[in-house]
Structure 1
Amino acid sequence: MKRSPDFLQQEHDPRDPNPWLALYLDQSTPLPDHVKRAWLTDSSSVARQFLLPFIRPLARAGIILIQIIKVFVPRRWAASRFLHWILAEGLKRMVSPEANWLVMRHFHLGSQILAFIAANAPVPAETSPLHPLVLDDLKDDTFLKHDLNLFNFVIRLNQALRFADQSLGPVARPDFSMISEPPLDIAAMPDGWLNVIDLQTAIECFTPVYQLFLTDNDFWRASNSLQLDETIAVYAATILNAPQHLLLLNNKHPLVPLSTLRAGYRLVLHGLSTEMLHALLIQLKSAQQAEGTTT
């Protein structure tokens, strides 16, 4: 990272403790230091403090307005390629390096987590990994493919389990071979004078744009995919025989669809849940490797 965030440079004052420093030092959430540093640097930015409170209600009003407009638009109308061009260009030109790095990581981490479940399932399950390396790679319908991959994986896995009359269960020695740190460098992310928008504000801005240029069906599916966080976590916890790792999940219950109005906020939770599950798998992989070298 180019410089240490402010909350790590300031001396601790017991009469005025820095809340971001407390969150960074806290180890109750399974996040590696470099990810937590980027997340909290982005979260403590001026943009998030002053822009987000104004952007969020406007974005939610935009979702309602676009939903009304969609009543008069052909149901199959969409412009996915143009949408992804807007998203990629917006990220490159206006979003902070930390936020862009976290966005890019998310596709790698999600692909690795699905591959972990597939590799440790008692039946074969196809995955479609996404590994974008630069922001321009996102123009290939990457956001839409991410949502489709999640639902397709759940369907394919459970069809195979039902056909074989099998179910997921604990694995004594799980296969962690696909779990690794993504080959992404935060220093390689755009860092111009306009790259100041934080992750949460960017997501709130992009959510109504996402809705506008996708079909109603695609947008609803994308919103409802967030409630599969618990589903994927249950799969992983079953394989690991560790139900306590479901503790910090918030995007639930998968059988109770929520309004799209809070999709932006829930998308942030989705990203954080993915980071924590991946961090846990990294820890367990390291422990397994250390155990192997001592036996």
Structure 2
Amino acid sequence: MSTAQVRDDPFKTMAHDPNDPDPWLALYLDHSLPIDETAKRCLLIGQRSWSRRWLFPVSRPLVFLWFCLVKVFRAITPNWPNLNGLLHKTIHWGLRTFGSPETNTLILRHFHVGTELLAFMKANAGLGADVERVTSHPLRPTRLKDIEDNLFLQHDLNVFNFIIELNQALQAQDRELMPVARPDFSMISDTLPEFEDLPDGWLNKIDVQTAVEFYTPMYALMLPRADFVRAAHSLQLDETVAIYIARILGTDYHLNFVKNGHPMIALSTLQAGFRLMMHGLDCEALHGWLRVLKARQAAGLALDPHNLGGS
């Protein structure tokens, strides 16, 4: 399955009945969020699926109870066991066995999108030679097997290390992020690399939100408590990243659609599943907005959305 494919896209043939309008068709046709069309279809197909409508609400109380037991266990033994390798192998197996093609497409996309958002900020931070102080570990998986290379854990480390090292470099120069006259959008991809043909068997029916809800307690169980808490807190860094991008662009328009909450007021880790869904949506929206601005820049138009008429 390529990045451009979606299994049985129902929206292309869906008829509109004014007496019974489909809410998912309305969201599919709505373009208030500048997210990639493939990502939008994958997300909406999952949201209207059997697993999201039935399996998710029925299983959620049991998953919540399991999560509470895991938290008690981790309070007693915060560092043991540390089964990071087994965790990523288990996630790979679960997604390959049960994840729908749309679920797996969204998950693989997320690492590319996150990598490019960090690269955009790094390239436009104006650090000069100090830019090398901000380390990067690009994540560009094209196969589900790539998950086994500590993909989820490295994603969390990338975000926190970037914020710490970026701000250390800025403080060393006694400066802050400032608007850039002509931002560099070269790292923002209009299309992502082709993914492997993703599994589409009779068991591959689980939507991304249900998958996230199931694997979040497993993440807490198999990683040391500090790693899980850091991962949960990273989900609220979307607003921080959006503020950095606003400073670079000189416009805060995109802050209207970043809704994951500032991390200085940390939410309970019991909410991590929902926050992860919001994190994915925020990242897709930010990346989509940068693609819009990249196209406007190439066309010689103004980047400020309040000045849509010219350069």
Q: TM-score range by the shorter chain?
A: over 0.9
Give the C-alpha shift of residue 75 in structure 1: 2.3
Confirm or deny that 1:224 pairs with 2:228. no
Confirm or deny that 1:108 pairs with 2:112. yes
Question: Does the 8 A contact of 2:52 with 2:207 survive in 1?
Answer: yes
Count of paired positions:
293
Deviations 1:46-72 (A, max 9, x none): 110001112222222211101111233
CA distance in 2, matches of 1:93, 1:165: 51
| 1:108-257 → structure 2 map (5 Å cutoff) | 108-123=112-127, 124=131, 125-180=134-189, 181-185=191-195, 188-257=197-266
CA RMSD of aligned residues (A): 1.7
Question: Does the 8 A contact of 2:6 with 2:102 survive in 1?
Answer: no
CA distance in 1, matches of 2:207, 2:297: 36
The match for 1:274 is 283
**TM-score normalized by the length of structure 2:** 0.90
Equivalent residue letter for 2:187: M
Structure 1 vs Structure 2: percent identity of aligned residues? 48
The match for 2:64 is 60
CA distance in 1, matches of 2:235, 2:7: 33
> Is there any run of 5+ residues in structure 1 with no aligned partner, and where?
none
Confirm or deny that 1:85 pairs with 2:94. no
Give the C-alpha shift of residue 281 in structure 1: 0.8
2:77 to 63, 73, 78: 73
CA distance in 1, matches of 2:93, 2:235: 24
The match for 2:304 is none
User: Which stretch shifts more, 65-74 or 20-29?
Assistant: 65-74
> Is there any run of 5+ residues in structure 2 with no aligned partner, and where?
302-309
Question: Does the 8 A contact of 2:113 with 2:287 survive in 1?
Answer: yes
Give the C-alpha shift of residue 167 in structure 1: 0.6
Equivalent residue letter for 1:10: M
> Secondary structure at 1:92's aligned position in 2?
helix
Deviations 1:89-110 (A, max 9, x none): 1011101000100000000110
Give the C-alpha shift of residue 74 in structure 1: 5.6
> Secondary structure at 1:227's aligned position in 2?
coil
> Secondary structure at 1:195's aligned position in 2?
coil
Equivalent residue letter for 2:221: L
The match for 1:10 is 14
User: Which stretch shifts more, 135-144 or 241-250?
Assistant: 241-250
Confirm or deny that 1:286 pairs with 2:290. no
CA distance in 2, matches of 1:6, 1:290: 34
Q: Which has the higher helix share?
A: 1
CA distance in 2, matches of 1:72, 1:165: 43
> Secondary structure at 1:51's aligned position in 2?
helix
Confirm or deny that 1:29 pairs with 2:33. yes
